């Protein structure tokens, strides 16, 4: 149940960020080129929204296997070796997240200490840039989930979307539909 709530929150939050950025940029373009005016804070908010979208979306991408990966070399090895390579690669990713989280925490603490605000809005920069830390917390969570799946035998490593396989399946579906439509006429 908690997993479903987290999943819905992730998808909703990413959708909200994407819609908000799109509407803000569209409004800014219309105002700037149509009425020779604009929203003075739109560029900064769009920039930070994009950072939130990318860093929050990275963990979601790990969850659904949407990141690009080249595993043709890894597939040449026997299963036990692929699992060992998966454990190694996920462990390296976990270490990277921890290192980045420590650096982000120190950076945000310094921003909070000096009370630096955003340029166009009266919001503390440490709040708007907190996604640097949070994004890697979410990534760490996803990598730990993946490591547990590997140890349970539910995965060999990172799952990637196989675009070639998807394209072949889509082509087969189209051929089937064309055959059905041709037979129905």
The confidence score (pLDDT) of residue 183 equals 58
Write the pLDDT tens digit of every residue in 58-85. 988 888 877 777 677 777 888 898 889 8
Closest by alpha carbon to 12, among 53, 47, 45, 64?
Answer: 53
- 129 and 114 in contact (C-beta within 8 Å)? no
Neighbours of 108 (CB within 10 A): 19
- Euclidean distance between CA atoms 62 and 140, whole angstroms: 10
Question: In the structure encoding, which two tokens stand for residue 96, read together?
Answer: 């990277």
Question: Could you give the count of Cα atoms lying within 13 Å of 55 in the half-sphere of its Cβ?
Answer: 22
Distance CA 145, CA 90 (A): 10
Residues 6-15 pLDDT 10s: 878 888 999 9
In this structure, what DSSP letter does residue 54 have? Answer: H
Phi, psi of 139 (to 5 degrees): -60, -45
Cα separation, 171 vs 160, in Å, equals 20
- CA dist., res. 125 & res. 114, Å (int): 10
In a 3-state reduction of DSSP, which class is residue 124?
A: strand
pLDDT at residue 162 in the model: 62
Check pLDDT > 60 for residue 23. Answer: yes
Give the pLDDT confidence of 135-179 residue by residue, as tens digits: 999 999 999 999 999 999 888 877 766 666 777 787 888 888 888
> Can you tell me whether residue 117 is helix, strand or coil?
strand
pLDDT grade for 45, boundaries at 50, 70 and 90 = very high
CA 153/CA 105 separation, integer angstroms: 34
C-alpha to C-alpha distance for 134 and 41, rounded to whole angstroms: 24
Single pTM value for the model: 0.78
């Amino acid at each position: 149940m908690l997993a479903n709530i987290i999943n819905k929150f992730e998808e909703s939050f990413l959708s909200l960020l994407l819609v908000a950025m799109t509407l803000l940029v569209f409004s800014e373009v219309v105002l700037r080129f149509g009425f020779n005016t604009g929203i003075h804070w739109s560029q900064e908010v769009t920039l930070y929204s994009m950072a939130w979208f990318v860093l929050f979306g990275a963990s979601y991408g790990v969850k659904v296997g949407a990141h690009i990966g080249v595993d043709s070399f890894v597939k040449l090895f026997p299963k036990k070796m692929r699992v060992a390579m998966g454990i190694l690669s996920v462990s390296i990713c976990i270490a990277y997240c921890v290192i980045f989280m420590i650096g982000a925490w120190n950076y945000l603490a310094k921003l909070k200490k000096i009370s630096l605000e955003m340029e166009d809005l009266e919001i503390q920069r440490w709040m708007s840039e907190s996604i640097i830390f949070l994004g890697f917390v979410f990534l760490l969570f996803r990598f730990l989930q993946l490591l547990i799946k590997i140890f349970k035998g539910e995965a060999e490593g990172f799952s990637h979307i196989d675009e070639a396989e998807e394209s072949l399946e889509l082509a087969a579906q189209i051929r089937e539909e064309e055959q059905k439509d041709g037979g129905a006429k």
